[in-house]
Chain A
Amino acid sequence: MPPLSKTLRFREPSVIPGFGLTFGLTVTWLSVIVLIPLAAMILYASRLGFDQFIAILTAQRTLNALKLSFGIAFAAAIFNVIFGLIVAWALTRYEFPGRRIADAIVDIPFALPTAVAGIALATLYSPQGWIGQFLAPLGIQVTFTPLGILVALIFVGIPFVVRTVQPVLKDLDPELELAAASLGASRWQVIRKVIAPTLLPAILTGFALAFARAVGEYGSVIFIAGNLPNISEIAPLLIVIRLEEFRYADATAIAVIMLFVAFIMLLIINRLQRWTEARS
């Protein structure tokens, strides 16, 4: 008997119907919601001449905004991978009072309007705020600086890492660690050679999601960043500013380049993920 193929092809009768229907809906849905708006955007940007397009992109303010957006999103995603991993570990491996509540709290950044989060964080971290008052004497200014953006992006990204790593961690049999230890592996060797390789694909997925979310984040950042051009102005905000100035071409040009860079980065992460999965 030939093995049952996991992917169905066109015009191949199947006992379980529904492929045509779901495929049709998928294509329609993706087109209406995602592909057509994106195509329209690229079409609009293409009306700009090439020189004009380059001029908008290489303007100092645009470059700084893009650098800030991608750079801080990347840093926040790395931060979230480290701390999200620790949170996921604590939630899956240990039984402690309030574990369920802590588990539920992780999802709050998903649900909370990001503007509310931005305002709350800005209040907390301002030099007079509960946390900011301790940081100010140390010369650390969070609000109205790139550091504030980092704090906001960490906030919105953390559940992505926790929720992608958690199920994999749950499936990771503690007996594997015992087996490794009985073979003479130190704790560090167990983490490096047994736990990390198993978790790596999930970690990369979590990283990609947290990163993508952070690149697109707008609401929470604008309240804490101060939005000083060239210093703490993110690319999505610059797009809004250009729109408000009726410079639609500029706005779409920035949007297109954001789309392009984000697509490339996600593609790379996706490849990395496939590669790590193939090895395990």
Chain B
Amino acid sequence: MKIDVRNLSKRFGNFVALKNVDLDIASGELLALLGPSGSGKTTLLRIIAGLDFADGGEVYFAGENAANLNVRKRHVGFVFQHYALFRHMTVFENVAFGLRVRPRRERKPEHEIVKRVKRLLEFVHIEGLAERYPDQLSGGQRQRVALARALAIEPNVLLLDEPFGALDAKVRKSLRRWLRDLHGELNVTSVLVTHDQEEALEVADRIVVMGNGKIEQVGTPEEIYNEPANSFVFDFIGESVKLPVRIENGGIWIGSRRLATNDELPGTGPARLFVRPHDLTFGEVSEAPLQGAVRAVRRVGALSFADVRLDYGGDDLLVEASLPPETLVRPGDLVGLTPRRYRIYEDGAAESLTSAAL
């Protein structure tokens, strides 16, 4: 089902949680709301679900204003961050809950409820746990129960609030892949809230990056990663290195060395250069625009990183650059660094002045 969010606003006291948010969610897609805590992503999800009220703006379900539909009538499958399972009910009864509370004339006969719950438990691979109580399950199993329970009512839309937040890294990874497959099978419109960019980049069809109650960028994972719309997104998504630069005479200056010339650059003034660590290449000290001493070399899994202390203009700056596999550097070595792909943002402005790939 298609969901349109129009001009949504919400405050909690003095805190502005959402500022005039507009968003179109296409039918059948898996959308991730990604942002740091306090960015308004969970508030947006709860308003879509009907668990919270907006101060202004509307939510449309398949073109119909949902203002008059309370949470009971919206038919959303909501998966809570801490699962919110009913502790006094078995797994089976938890999943059957949504079917049993239907008004009598809409309620299915008992044998059909049993059949449907069994099928759902098989679907989420916990058919053996039907008679257990939530306290007897692991975190990952509880998450599966919560999902089966939400799916039991055949929801128009599946809303997941930090579904893997409370799980350890390994379980999280396998559940992520599983959710992706599951969405492929069900094709139900799904919205996932997460602060974990890796999760969003891996799972979602489209990502909505939120910050301070506003939508910063909407796009596919590739677009978000490769073409961040502004400095907030660049900073939030992936690793980034920020360097103060100067724009002067149509050139970008790092200390006393010129990085590039660009006639389109307006005026003169301080700016910031954003670059991904893996877009910094090691080169000759005399030629590279950045120089510094290697402080430490670290291996993280298959990748190596070097902490380089840049020395320019009296300011010391520690950057982390990824090392190509063959490169050998030792702590204390002087190295040169060249940003291959970068973006320049004027100080104080969010919009990119220029981007370049050398």
Partners in one complex: yes
- Interface positions of A (Cβ within 8 A of B): 173, 175-176, 178-186, 189, 193-194, 197-198, 279-280
Of A173, A183, A197, A198, which one neighbours B97 at CB under 8 angstroms? A183
Chain B contacts of A176 at CB under 8 A?
Answer: 84, 86
- Hey, which chain A residues are within 8 Å of B272, CB to CB? none
With A178-B51, A178-B71 as contacts: A183 and B84 at CB distance below 8 Å: no
What would 24 A/B residue contacts be, using CB atoms closer than 8 Å? Answer: A173-B82, A173-B84, A178-B51, A178-B71, A178-B78, A178-B80, A179-B84, A180-B86, A180-B101, A182-B50, A182-B72, A183-B98, A183-B150, A183-B152, A183-B153, A184-B72, A184-B75, A184-B101, A189-B101, A193-B86, A193-B97, A198-B88, A280-B87, A280-B88
Q: Which residue of A lies closest to B77 (CB)?
A: A182
Known: A179-B149, A184-B98, A197-B88. 10 other contacts (CB 8 A): A175-B82, A176-B84, A181-B72, A182-B51, A182-B71, A182-B77, A183-B97, A183-B150, A184-B72, A186-B101
Q: Does B102 contact A (CB under 8 A)?
A: yes
For the complex, what is the distance from the CA of A173 to the CA of B149, rounded to whole Å? 18
Shortest distance from the beta carbon of A273 to any chain B beta carbon, whole Å: 14
List of B residues within 8 angstroms of A183 by Cβ: 97-98, 101, 149-150, 152-153
- Point out residues on B near A: beta carbons under 8 Å: 49-51, 70-72, 74-78, 80, 82, 84, 86-88, 97-98, 101-102, 149-150, 152-153
CB-based contact B101/A185 at 8 Å: yes
A178 contacts which chain B residues (CB < 8 A)? Answer: 51, 71, 78, 80, 84
Q: In the complex, A176 Cα to B84 Cα: how many Å?
A: 5
Contacts of B78 in A (CB 8 A): 178-179, 182
Cα–Cα distance between A178 and B150 once the two chains are bound (Å): 12
Q: Once the chains are docked, how many angstroms separate the CA of A125 from the CA of B227? A: 79
Bound-state CA distance A189–B99 (Å) is 12
Q: Which residues of A contact B102 (CB under 8 A)?
A: 184
Which single member of B50, B72, B74 contacts A185 (CB below 8 Å)?
A: B72
Q: In the complex, what distance in Å separates the CA atom of A279 from the CA atom of B135?
A: 12
Q: How far is the CA of A175 from the CA of B161 in the complex (A)?
A: 12
Complex Cα gap A193–B51 (Å): 20
Contacts of B88 in A (CB 8 A): 197-198, 279-280
**Beta-carbon contact of B80 and A175 below 8 Å:** yes
Residues of B within 8 A of A194 (CB): 86
Give the chain A neighbours of B50 by CB distance below 8 A: 182
Question: Which of chain B's residues has its CB closest to A181's CB?
Answer: B71
Q: Which residues of A contact B97 (CB under 8 A)?
A: 180, 183, 185, 193
The docked-state distance in angstroms from the alpha carbon of A259 to that of B272 is: 84
A180 to B102, CA, bound (A): 12
A186/B71 in contact, CB under 8 A: no
Return chain A residues, CB-CB under 8 Å to B152: 183
Chain A: CB-nearest residue to B82: A175
Contact in complex: A182, B49 (CB < 8 Å): yes
Point out the residues of chain B lying under 8 angstroms from A193, CB to CB: 86, 97, 101
Chain A residue at minimum C-beta to C-beta distance from B102: A184
Instruction: Please state if A175 and B101 are interface contacts (CB–CB under 8 Å).
Output: no
Report Cα–Cα, A17/B115, bound state, in Å.
Answer: 54
Point out the residues of chain A lying under 8 angstroms from B72, CB to CB.
Answer: 181-182, 184-186
CA distance A29 to B77 in the complex (A): 56
Q: State the CA gap A180–B51 with chains docked (Å).
A: 11
B282–chain A nearest beta-carbon distance, Å: 51
Nearest CB of chain A from residue B104's CB, rounded to whole Å: 12
Name the B residues within 8 Å of A181 (CB-CB): 70-72
Q: In the complex, what distance in Å separates the CA atom of A280 from the CA atom of B134?
A: 10
Which among A180, A183, A189, A197 has the highest number of chain B CB atoms within 10 Å? A183
Separation of A181 and B88 alpha carbons in the complex (Å): 17
- B344: shortest Cβ distance to chain A, in Å? 45
Contacts of B86 in A (CB 8 A): 176, 179-180, 193-194
What is the CA–CA distance of A24 and B345 in the complex, to the nearest angstrom? 76
* Contact with A198, one of B75, B82, B87, B150 (Cβ below 8 angstroms): B87
Q: Which residue of A lies closest to B161 (CB)?
A: A175
**B70 contact set on A, CB distance < 8 A:** 181
Q: How far is the CA of A261 from the CA of B87 in the complex (A)?
A: 35
Q: CA of A216 to CA of B75 in the docked complex: distance in angstroms? A: 53
Task: Tell me the bound Cα distance from A139 to B70 in angstroms.
Answer: 47
CA distance A176 to B86 in the complex (A): 7
Name the residue among A179, A186, A193 with the largest chain B CB count within 10 angstroms.
Answer: A179
Which residues of the partner chain B approach A186 to less than 8 Å between Cβ atoms?
A: 72, 101
Distance in angstroms from B135 CB to nearest chain A CB is 9
Contacts of B71 in A (CB 8 A): 178, 181-182
**Distance of A274 Cα from B272 Cα, bound (Å):** 67
A residues within 8 A CB of B84?
Answer: 173, 175-176, 178-179
**B contact residues around A198 at 8 Å (CB):** 87-88
Q: Which of A173, A184, A197, A280 contacts B153 (CB 8 A)?
A: A184
